[in-house]
Amino acid sequence: MHTALPQLAAEELDVPLASIRIEQAGWDTVYGNVAMLVGNLPFHPSEEEGEDGFGRVKASRWMVGKLARELGLNATGGSSSVSDAWEVVRLAAATARASLVGAASLQWRLPSEDLKVADGVVSHPSGRSAGYGELARSASATPPGSVELKDRKAWRVIGQPVPRLDVPAKVSGMARFGLDVRLPGMRFAALRLAPTLGGAPGWVDARAALAMPGVERLVMLPAYAGSTAGFAVVARSYWQAQQAALAVEVDWRAPATGLLDSERIAGQLHEAVKLRDGYQFYGRGNVDEAFRAGGRTVEAWYSAPYLAHATLEPMNATARVGDGRVEVWAPTQVPQMCRAAAARVAGVAEEKVDLHVTLLGGGFGRRLEVDYVVQAVRVAMDLPGVPVQLIWSREEDTRHDFYRPMQVARVRATLDGAGFPLALHIKSAGDAISPRWMERGLPALAGPVDLPDKTASEGLFDQPYAFAHQRIEHVFTRSGVPVGFWRSVGHSHNAFFTESFIDELAAEAQKDPVEFRRSLLRRSPRHLAVLNEAAERSGWGLRPLPAGRARGVALHESFGSVVAQVVEVSLEKGTPRIHRVVCAIDCGTVVNPQIVAQQMEGAVVFGLTAALHGRIDIRGGVVQQRNFPDYPMLRLGAAPRWRRGSSPASGRRRASVSRACRRWLLRWPALCAP
Predicted TM-score (pTM) of the model is 0.92
CA proximity to 221, closest of 373, 70, 361: 373
343 with 326: CB under 8 angstroms?
yes
Same domain, yes or no: 602 and 668? no
Question: Helices 4-13 & 81-108, crossing angle to 10 degrees?
Answer: 20
Q: Tell me what pLDDT residue 665 has.
A: 36
- Last residue within a domain, chosen from 464, 479, 510: 510
- Which residue, 373, 399, 425, sits at the end of a domain? 399
Q: pLDDT value at position 261?
A: 98
- Three-class secondary structure of residue 488 per DSSP: coil
Residue 269: which CATH number? 3.30.365.10
Same domain? 518 vs 563: yes
Looking at residue 59, its pLDDT comes to 86
DSSP 395-427: HHHHHT--BBPPEEEEEEEEE-TTS-EEEEEEE
- d(Cα 584, Cα 600) in Å, to the nearest integer? 9
The reply to whether 453 and 334 lie within a common domain is: no
Number of compact structural domains in the chain: 5
Instruction: Please report the pLDDT score of residue 288 as a whole number.
Output: 96
In a domain, 565, yes or no: yes
pLDDT given at position 119: 95
The last residue of one of the domains, among 483, 510, 537, is: 510
DSSP 186-212: -EEEEEEE-SBTT-EEEEEE-HHHHTS
What is the pLDDT at residue 305? 98
| Within-domain flag for 42 | no
* DSSP label of 127: S
pLDDT of residue 391: 98
Measured in whole angstroms, the distance separating CA 355 from the mean position of its chain's CA atoms is 22
∠ CA 96-591-335, nearest 5°, is 70
* Judgement on whether residues 238 and 321 belong to the same structural domain of the protein: yes
Give Cα 479 distance to the centre of its chain.
Answer: 24
Residue 581 included in any domain: yes
Do 385 and 412 share a domain, yes or no?
no
Q: Angle at CA 437, nearest 5°, toward 433 and 440? A: 145
Range of the domain at 204: 182-256+310-399
- pLDDT reported for residue 149: 96
Residues 19, 89, single domain; the answer is yes
Give the C-alpha separation, 526 to 391, whole Å.
46
Same domain, 214 and 321: yes
- Domain for residue 54, yes or no? no
Residues 459 and 441 in one domain: yes
pLDDT given at position 56? 79
Residue-level pLDDT at 37: 86
| Distances from the Cα of 202 to the Cα of 90, 220, 254, 389, 554, angstroms | 56, 11, 10, 25, 51
63 is a domain residue: no
Tell me what pLDDT residue 656 has: 39
CB burial string 301-339: b at 16+ within 10 A, e below: ebbbbbbbbbbebbbbbbbbbeeeebbbbbbbbbbbbbb
Sign of CA dihedral 499, 500, 503, 509: negative
Cβ-based burial of 400 (10 A; exposed 0-12, middle 13-18, buried ≥19): buried
Mark whether 609 and 544 lie in a shared domain.
yes
92 and 79 share one domain:
yes
Residue 74: its pLDDT value, please?
87
For residues 357 and 504, membership in a common domain is answered with no
Domain presence at residue 26: yes
Q: Is the dihedral of CA 257, 263, 267, 270 positive or negative?
A: positive
Q: Is 452 a member of any domain?
A: yes
Same domain membership, residue 456 and residue 319? no
| The total number of residues written for the chain in this structure | 674
Per-10-residue mean pLDDT for the chain, 674 residues long?
96 95 89 88 74 72 87 89 94 97 96 95 96 96 93 96 94 96 98 98 97 98 96 98 98 95 98 97 96 93 98 97 97 96 97 96 96 98 98 98 98 95 97 93 72 94 96 97 96 98 98 98 96 96 92 96 97 93 96 95 95 97 97 93 55 40 38 32
User: Is 523 a member of any domain?
Assistant: yes
What are the helix (H) ranges across 114-219? 132-139, 167-172, 207-210
Cβ-in-10-Å burial (0-12, 13-18, 19+) of 411 comes to buried
DSSP letter (8 states) at residue 641: P
